[in-house]
Amino acid sequence: MAARNLTPRPLTVEELPPAMAAFIRAQAELRGLDRDPLPETTHGLRTDEETLGPRPGGRGLQTERHTVEMLLTPELLIISYREGGDDGGERIGPTTRVSFHRLAELEVATPPAGMQRRTHGSPPGPPKDALTVTSTPLGATRRTTRHVPTGSGPDVTRFREAVLAAQERA
């Protein structure tokens, strides 16, 4: 079993690595958005995920780093995912992805019980380390559910509340 560490923090558009901001803008244009969504960002959350697990072939351990950034605008939830972290790994690679979710079509859901972290005797509830969203991302043909790693803490709570409030307004 791999050990997992999630480190969330608030994020502004100015803190996005320039390559990631350019990637988001290019993908927004490819998916038919008529304007750059980044200047409209009201809230942001970045989660750095570090996983320590066995190397393929069973020889020792390896550390993998991934970064998830979520940006909220009055109309969209933008979710980006890439390998690397602040140690110079802020790169756009073949596994880098971004999705755009219209708030009017977005559902923030409680994941299935098997996905929920519980302590003995606690009632079921959403996991404290993921934001579960269901929507049809721009450019996609079907509705999907994603469990986006967020970590926990006051910054995550504020971001989740901002998403729920923006979803209600949409």
- Encode pLDDT of 109-151 as tens digits: 755 555 444 444 444 544 568 899 999 999 999 999 888 989 8
Which residues lie below 8 Å from residue 88, measured CB to CB, with a gap of 6+?
none
25 CB burial (10 A radius; 0-12, 13-18, 19+): middle
Residue 96's pLDDT is what? 92
Domain coverage including residue 75: 3-169
Residue 110's pLDDT is what? 56
For the chain, list residues with pLDDT below 50.
88-89, 115-123, 125-126
The total number of structural domains in the chain stands at 1
Q: Which two tokens stand for residue 168?
A: 């209600």
